[in-house]
Amino acid sequence: MLLFGREPRRPRAGRALGAPEGSQHLERIAGGLAPLVVEFCRRHVDCLFTGRDLTAWLQVEARKRSIAMVPDSASRILRELRRRGRVQYQLLDRGQSLYRVTGVERSA
């Protein structure tokens, strides 16, 4: 089906969600940032915060340690840490990106 006179884009091979290349890319990005996200979560257990709060804090801390990041890294890493069981949180308002950390793995 043509959309605006052109074929819709198809995902490149190996770029689909869940593909090993995507996991490796996230690991590379999260390598230095994941411990910082865990630290943020430890400091904010039972506190309300927004995705912007996390991103702003992470940017400051990453800059101090000369770690590169892009703005959406924080939320992607937070979701991955939750998926792996290292942090637990509630998404209270998706529209406002409002979160509450409910727990952090002790060895994380």
The pTM is what? 0.72
Domains in the chain, ordered, with CATH? 20-104 (1.10.10)
Q: What is the pLDDT of residue 98?
A: 96
Write out residues in the chain with pLDDT < 50, as ranges: 1-2, 13-21, 108
3-state helix, strand, coil in the chain (%, to 5): 45, 20, 35
Q: What is the pLDDT of residue 8?
A: 54
Chain-centre distance for alpha carbon 66: 19
The angle, 0 to 180 degrees and rounded to 10, between the axes of the packed helices 20-43 and 73-83 is: 90
DSSP 32: H
